[in-house]
């Protein structure tokens, strides 16, 4: 379970404003990649809430929604995206780092340090520390993972009625069997990532240009 061990380690070193950062949607075939930055206010954070935060993938969708509502009452939160066009213009890693940078820039408080899930640092104007599986170890990152996941799921649910038949309201654009079959039946939409291998294969471009996934 995540804990405040890492946050406490940096607090002792004089880093008072600590942001956790995570993303959602890197592997999806459609829609934006979403990042979230969260600065928890531990003076008003309910201990019970703190210790129910976990890697978003280990929580039900209903529980994630509940936790997001609670987090809004005790945290500085910023959510940002990198669009499908930005993903295709560069690559998914650079687009993810771009979204992460935007979250840091959008926080009300400038962080003294950011704790990032994974091993890739965005270009930001403050120290950063990457943690592999950070959403399983660090409460601030776990909070960010919940915010990013709920935010992206809601974006894809919002897009689903405009692109019916792909199941985005339930698969969030990921490569499920239903999504794959729908691509062959209905074709590619403007929200599909044309730089991704499965989409390039359908377009007949698999071997013509570099593939991101």
Q: Where are the domains of the chain?
A: 5-160, 163-203
Among 181, 209, 180, residue whose Cα is nearest residue 195: 209
- Spatial separation of the C-alpha atoms in residues 113 and 94, rounded to whole Å: 21
Least confident of 10-14, 45-49, 113-117, 198-202: 45-49
Does residue 33 contact residue 82 with C-beta atoms inside 8 Å? yes
Q: What is the pTM of this model?
A: 0.93
Q: Is 22 helix (H, G, I), strand (E, B) or coil?
A: strand
Given its phi and psi angles, is residue 132 left (phi above 0), alpha (psi -120 to 50 degrees) or beta? beta
Calculate the CA 33 to chain-centre distance.
6
Q: How many CB atoms lie within 10 A of CB 110?
A: 12
Task: Specify the pLDDT at position 209.
Answer: 52
Q: Would you place residue 171 in the very low, low, confident or very high pLDDT band (cuts 50, 70, 90)?
A: very high
- Spatial separation of the C-alpha atoms in residues 55 and 141, rounded to whole Å: 8
Phi then psi dihedrals of residue 76, to 5 deg: -90, 120
Q: Is 143 helix (H, G, I), strand (E, B) or coil?
A: helix
Classify burial at 176, counting beta carbons within 10 Å of its beta carbon; exposed 0-12, middle 13-18, buried 19 or more: middle
Q: Is the pLDDT of residue 50 over 90?
A: no
For the domain made up of 5-160, the CATH class stated in words is alpha beta
DSSP code of residue 40 = E
Interval 182-212: pLDDT, tens: 999 999 999 999 999 999 998 886 544 544 5
- Spatial separation of the C-alpha atoms in residues 171 and 191, rounded to whole Å: 14
Task: Specify the pLDDT at position 57.
Answer: 83
């Amino acid at each position: 379970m995540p804990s405040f061990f890492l946050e406490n380690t940096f607090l002792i070193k004089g880093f008072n404003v600590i942001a956790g950062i995570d993303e959602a949607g890197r592997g999806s075939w459609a829609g934006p990649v979403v990042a979230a930055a969260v600065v928890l206010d531990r003076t008003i954070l309910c201990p019970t809430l703190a210790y129910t935060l976990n890697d978003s993938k280990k929580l039900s969708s209903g529980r994630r929604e509940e936790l997001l509502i609670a987090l809004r009452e005790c945290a500085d939160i910023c959510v940002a995206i990198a669009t499908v066009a930005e993903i295709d213009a560069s690559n998914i890693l650079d687009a993810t780092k771009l979204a992460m940078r935007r979250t840091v820039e959008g926080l009300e408080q400038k962080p003294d340090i950011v704790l990032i899930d994974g091993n890739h640092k965005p270009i930001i104007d403050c120290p950063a520390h990457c943690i592999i599986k950070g959403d399983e170890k660090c409460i601030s990152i776990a909070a960010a993972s919940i915010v990013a996941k709920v935010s992206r799921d809601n974006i894809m649910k919002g897009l689903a009625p405009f692109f019916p038949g792909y199941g985005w309201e339930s698969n969030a654009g990921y490569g499920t069997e239903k999504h794959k079959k729908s691509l062959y039946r209905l074709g590619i939409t403007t929200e599909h990532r044309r730089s991704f291998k499965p989409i390039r294969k359908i377009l007949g471009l698999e071997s013509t240009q570099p593939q991101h996934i």
